Amino acid sequence: MTHSTRSPSNILIFDSGIGGLSIADEVTRALPQHPIVYIADNRLYPYGIQPDNALLARAKTLFPTLESHYQPAIIIIACNSASTLILDEVRAITQTPVIGVVPAIKPAADITQTGQMGLLATKGTISRQYTADLIAEFASHHKITKIGSDILVSQAERKLHGYIIEEALIEKELAPIITNSAIDTIILGCTHFPLIKQEIQNTLGNRVHLIDSGEAIARRTTHILSISNQQLPPTSPPPTHTFIFTAENNQVSKLTPALHTRGFFTIKIGNH
Ligand code: DGL
């Protein structure tokens, strides 16, 4: 562990893979002066098909370790599959403010004209009680077509690793939405999906509005840093962002251009 990753102004962003970069993009737009430590838990990727007990056990050991190693000002669980399951647990075992990313059901329910929406997420997120509760609270009168897809997750990974996206696969996954012309709003309930937003929009056409949680998370992060007096002045020198995998990864060089573009110049294996 290098000393430079320890900084009280660090924002720790966590996901199973590269999906949390869609959240990092919004956070760095809102708070360009704050250093980000990004943890990609590739040891257990993909989270969306892991049994609940595996994710809970992982959270119990991993988050206290990450908290003490990196001493972040804030932890963002930039993974819907994780947040819908482990958020309370992580809050209970850490002292740092924790923000969870969960499907943007309420904003979508507020804007749909037809009352018909699509929820694109992982199989895990689709099946969670947390998600059912969000729907019951904010969209009980709406009709929601749910698609749990690990194929879309892997397509987003492919894209950021510089591989060609398989559009036919995306089309196949989205068939229940393509064939229902009453759906006008789609919730991107997995942080990987904003990274292939254009491809999803091209497949569905402009009749549908795509909603994700990124901007709301950036606003919440700004608010928490500001009320806890941890927001750095905008004039602070540009930070270096750090990207850490939890296990060996032979694809790192493929991902490097996408990380460099986003200001992640320290890339390493953390062995967490
Ligand atoms: N990016 C994660 C999410 O928001 C999940 C991807 C995975 O299945 O690992 O749910």
Q: Looking at residue 3, what is its pLDDT?
A: 40
Query: pLDDT-derived band of residue 4, with 50, 70 and 90 as boundaries?
Result: very low
Instruction: Flag whether pLDDT at 5 surpasses 60.
Output: no
Which ligand 1 atom is nearest residue 78's CA?
4
Region of 244 please: left (phi>0), alpha (psi -120 to 50) or beta. Answer: beta
Q: Is the CB of 13 under 6 A from ligand 1?
A: no
Percentage of the residues of the chain whose pLDDT score is greater than 70: 97
Query: pLDDT-derived band of residue 237, with 50, 70 and 90 as boundaries?
Result: confident
Instruction: Flag whether pLDDT at 213 surpasses 70.
Output: yes
Number of C-beta neighbours around residue 159 at 10 A: 18
State the catalytic residues: 79, 190
- For ligand 1, mutation pick of 190, 197, 217 (most atoms within 8 Å of CB): 190
**Mean pLDDT confidence for 248-254:** 94
Measure 242 CA to ligand 1 centroid, in angstroms. 20
Cβ proximity of 236 and 205 under 8 Å: no
Q: Report how far Cα 189 is from the mean position of its chain's Cα atoms.
A: 9
**Per residue in 130-173, pLDDT tens?**
999 999 999 999 999 999 999 999 999 999 999 999 999 999 99
Percentage of the residues of the chain whose pLDDT score is greater than 90: 92
**Mean pLDDT confidence for 80-93:** 98
pTM > 0.85: yes
The CB-side HSE value for 132 (13 A sphere, CA atoms) comes to 5
